[in-house]
Amino acid sequence: MIRGMPRVSLARAVGLTAKRALDIAAAVAVGLVTAPLLCLIALAVRWTSPGPAIFWQPRVGKGSRVFILCKFRTMTDARGPDGRLLLDRDRLTAVGRFLRKTSLDELPQLWNVLRGELSLVGPRPLPIHYYPYFTDRERLRHGVKPGITGWAQVNGRNEASWDRRLAADVWYAENWSFALDLRILLATVAAVLQRRGVVVDPRSTMLNLDEERRGRETAARPDQGNGRTRCLT
């Protein structure tokens, strides 16, 4: 132990180093093993519906910084007579339903893991337009790197309410340890194999966060440059 360095800080530094090493090793290994499957999925998505195979969307990450998340596309951009996008259940493709049920739509996020924007384990990164509806305490979830799976996902996944999911994210951020990450990874493997807590169309069981909390006043948004929040006028 280095003289003068707090034991907790050293332990956390070692844990974070191990976390990043595991992220890189797993992303490379899984990416190589599943490369043929990734190609087949991409072809299936392209051939069965118009549009690109990969869906790109800005999400809020650690420090409230914005990054671009990638997933396999599971929906079309079909719109109604008024020009608005149809509901998710009406835009989901047959291939998309299968990908969501098996969680295979998440595989392209290994690229985000390699880039260091995402970890294997952490709070799920949410769309930018959700950010104003977080409470100050819920924004503590952005104190750690987001992940492909997390404490909320192994404790209810899409079946949990927003309050429960966000509370679970904050608990994880405040109680993080490398051992906890390993525990979550093992629980995730079991949940995926059993397809436990999977909801193909989340809006069939709960509202989007911005719809549920639309009346809440807020004065902050994520910043796309330095990760700080800025006041809205």
The structural domains of the chain, with segments of one domain joined by +, span 11-212
pTM, 2 dp: 0.81
Per the structure block, which two tokens stand in for 38? 């990734």
Neighbouring C-beta atoms of residue 39, cutoff 10 Å? 11
Residue-level pLDDT at 5: 42
CA distance linking residue 17 with residue 112, whole number of Å? 17
Residue-level pLDDT at 222: 63
Q: What share of the chain in percent tops pLDDT 90? A: 62
